Amino acid sequence: MVGKLSSMRGRSRSTRPVSKRPPNWVIYQPDEVKALIINLAREGKRQSEIGNILRDIHGIPLVKPIVGHGIRKVLEDAGLAPEIPEDLYNLMVRATSLQRHLNRNRKDYHNKRSMQLTESMIYRVTRYYKRKGMLPMDWNYQREIVTI
């Protein structure tokens, strides 16, 4: 049985639209979509929340066909992008809560394994973001960084 934090996950997921052009029923122009993204980011929404709001409330299935690039690029251009990518930050929050739990429950071997898998995933994702240039090459994960 494969653990839930393993890198070997199933292939079941929703499929992206085949066409790279925006759907003809989307009424928003690129500047309007950028303005929506920037306003939502200023309200304190994360990238995933912004994507869900655009999809569910405004009927924008994907930002990239309309604007030409994704939500993160729009936020970077506006100076609102977080310095740590959201998925890496969420992994760090998970590791912090697991560490707090393990400090109170030293014999919890299942969660010790979960902590190992989570930190392994953090290191893997960190290497990816360093290669892509989204994190500085001297950035290192430290458990004390994240505050929940």
Model pLDDT for residues 80-138, shown as the tens digit of each residue: 999 999 999 999 999 999 999 999 999 999 999 999 999 999 999 999 999 999 999 99
Model-level pTM greater than 0.85? no
Superfamily of domain 86-132: S15/NS1, RNA-binding (1.10.287.10)
**Cα angle vertex 16, ends 13, 18, to 5°?**
140
On the 0-12 / 13-18 / 19+ scale of CB atoms within 10 A, 38 is middle
Q: How much is the mean pLDDT over the chain? A: 89
- CA dihedral for 49, 44, 92, 76, sign (positive or negative): positive
